[in-house]
Amino acid sequence: MVLLGRVALGIELFEEYEKEEGIVLSKTGYFGMLKEEFTGYNASALSKDLLAGLTVSAVALPLALAFGVSSGADAGAGLITAIVAGLIISALSGAYYQISGPTGAMAAILMSVVANYQIQGVFLATFLAGVLLLLAGLFHLGKLTSFIPAPVITGFTSGIAIIIALGQVDNFFGVTSQGDSALKKLLSYGELGFSPDWVTVGIGCFVALFMLVFPKKWNAVVPASLIGIILATAASLILKLDVAVVGEIPKTLFPEERLSLSAIRPDQLWGLAGPAVSIALLGMIESLLCGASAGRMTGKKLDSDQELIAQGVGNMILPFFGGIPATAAIARTSVAIKSGAKTRLTGVFHAVGLLLAMFVLGPVMSKIPLSALAGVLMVTAWRMNEWEVIRFFFSHRFKGALLKFFVTMAATVLLDLTAAILIGVSAGLVLFICRSANIQVSTLPVDPERAGLDGEGLENWTVVYVSGPWFFMTAEAVMDKLEQLPPQQSLIFSLRGVPAADITAVSMLENYYRKQTAQGRRILFAAVQPAVMDMFRRADLVETAGEDAFYFSVDLALRQLSQESEGKQQMKTADENQ
């Protein structure tokens, strides 16, 4: 109730300040969101936030431990990340429903960073990524993710799922590998050998199968992953099984292993620039996609710029607590929404719940078998795939979508995540350009009688209908079609179907115009789209042809030609009569 009173007092003070200064806060923006969320906040809303927060903490606990281990750090780092992100990012987020913490996608990036730069490299890369995210939010770059095609995101997600699964082979089977990436670790079994510890395998299989068969309606009450880990840990302790365990869980938010400014070496900064960009890009994609999905569930749109600012501030602070990169996660966020979250206090309460678990359950969590967490991650990796979307691509035979999907997935596994996104988007652009190169050109000689027009000479006119983008890949096709026309014909270009034109196309058209008019033929233009007209003006085609060569429609151009023809005929008749 004290917290509730402080929130209410804060809103009241804001309202008084607005009245005194004559300020009207819009519903958009951070303070506008806070005011909207906490106006009329009462004990009932507080209880809903509290219960939703504790429910989310139950879901987040096993995932935080698992993602901490899979990243190459430790379970404690994952737990600290979930706590600090819940406190800071939730408080600053672009929507009340966003719940942030460690994710499997981030863990996939961090494995190679840990292998090459140790844990201090992870901390520094996280900090640099936070700076990039903060700048992205301040410069309103949140909408950039809308330029990434859906098949690329699907392939990216599937590639990350493969990396997560491959990264858990050691813990799941109780074997040892070498390498700075999941793929290299897998290939190293050829040299090191692969001898599974069947007790370890049994624990991992039990947790994975338990999660798969656990009823969905019960999972809404208590997560299957948490029950599976509890049962596996209990069995391991009772039977005194000799298996690898999580190890010591810190009972402080300031562990010995955290970012130290004195440990930063200038030569590391350049090497970590690539991983930092990957972390920032992935954080942007995951957070904004999570917000878009949750926004559809709640009807409340995410403020993407504020969300990126929150992610930036959070990831800049996390390394100083020994945390790894955090981002908004759809699993936790959807649980918060379904559990009745009302404000961003849900994320804060979820962090408090995890903090209590750290101090109270730390000794027990240290005994959790690593293979149990590996089982959780194996199932999580399987469920990460957007199976309905993938099935849709195959069933409808969308070849372009499948190409982008497989190219991005392969690049994610074989290269790095930043390269995968760039390659996927590039593949999408190439496909788009190839499909856009399909321009249609048709010609129709003018029939004055059919058009209901009078006047001699109209039979020497031809209307050229062009449909499609007119640019460097299609300009030659249009010119080839024009060369096939009878040489004595004057032309009217109907360009209503041309949405855009580039300088190559306009230059070729202007050269054609000059050549034809020099031979005594006329060329007119009709129904030119604004963007194309702007290009014509910039390329001086309008100046060359004159404003009177452009008409709103072909009909108006023909009527004008008919009137010109009639006027000439009348003048000719008058001359003859004289």
Choose among 171, 411, 475: nearest CA to 403: 411
CA distance 314 to 308: 10
Indicate the domain borders of the chain: 25-260+267-430, 440-577
Is residue 264 helix, strand or coil?
Answer: coil
Which residue from 348, 276, 349, 289 is spatially nearest to 315, judged by alpha carbons? 276
Nearest to residue 279, comparing CAs of 114, 132, 69?
Answer: 132
pLDDT at 572: 62
Distance, in Å, from the CA atom of 195 to the CA atom of 197, rounded to the nearest integer, reads 7
Sheet hosting strand 523-526, strand order edge to edge: 440-445, 461-467, 490-497, 523-526, 550-551
Burial class (CB in 10 A: 0-12, 13-18, 19+), 39: exposed
- Residues whose CB is less than 8 angstroms from the CB of residue 68 and which lie 6 or more positions away in sequence, other chains included: 74, 75, 76, 77, 78, 79, 81, 102, 324
Q: Is 501 helix (H, G, I), strand (E, B) or coil?
A: strand
3-state helix, strand, coil in the chain (%, to 5): 70, 5, 25
Series of mean pLDDT values for 10-residue runs along the chain (578 residues): 39 45 51 89 92 88 87 88 95 94 82 83 93 94 79 85 85 84 79 89 95 86 86 94 88 87 77 89 88 84 93 96 92 85 94 93 90 89 88 92 92 80 85 81 84 69 91 88 83 93 92 91 93 94 92 90 75 61
Length reported for the chain: 578
**How distant is the alpha carbon of residue 238 from its chain centre?**
46
| Other CB atoms within 10 Å distance of the CB of residue 426 | 13
The CATH superfamily assigned to 440-577 is STAS domain (3.30.750.24)
Closest by alpha carbon to 522, among 466, 564, 573?
564
Alpha-carbon 443 to chain mean position:
44
For residue 240, what is the enclosing H or E element?
none
Rounded to the nearest 10 degrees, the angle between the axes of helix 224-239 and helix 43-70 is 60
Indicate the residue type of 79: L
Q: How many angstroms separate the Cα of 388 from the Cα of each of 211, 286, 385, 391, 403?
A: 20, 19, 9, 5, 17
Pick the closest to residue 515 from 539, 494, 491 (CA basis): 491
Under DSSP, is residue 550 helix (H, G, I), strand (E, B) or coil? strand
Q: Which residues pair with 328 in a beta bridge?
A: 100
553 CB-near residues (< 8 Å, 6+ apart): 526, 527
Return the pLDDT at 574. Answer: 60
Contact 522, 490 (CB under 8 A): yes
| CA–CA gap between residue 132 and residue 418 (Å, rounded) | 14
Q: Report how far residue 103's alpha carbon sits from residue 286's, in angstroms, rounded to the nearest whole number.
A: 9
Instruction: Find out whether 308 and 136 touch, Cβ atoms under 8 Å.
Output: yes
Check: CB of residue 551 under 8 Å from CB of residue 524: yes
Strands 440-445 and 461-467: antiparallel
8 A C-beta contact, residue 381 and residue 165: yes
As a whole number of angstroms, the distance between CA 402 and CA 152 comes to 9
Fill in the amino acid letter for 418: T
84: its two tokens: 């600090």
Alpha-helical (H) ranges within 94-223 are: 104-138, 150-167, 169-173, 182-187, 189-192, 198-213, 216-219
Find the helix or strand (DSSP H, E) in which 233 lies: helix 224-239
Closest CA to 508 of 548, 486, 539: 539
